[in-house]
Structure 1
Amino acid sequence: MLKPNLAVELYNLRDDLAETTNVADKNPELVAKLTALLREQHTASPEFPLPALDAR
Structure 2
Amino acid sequence: MGDYPFQFPEFSSESLNETAKKFINYLKIEKNYSQNTINAYSIDLKFFSSFVKKNN
Normalising by structure 2, report the TM-score. Answer: 0.35
Normalising by structure 1, report the TM-score. Answer: 0.35
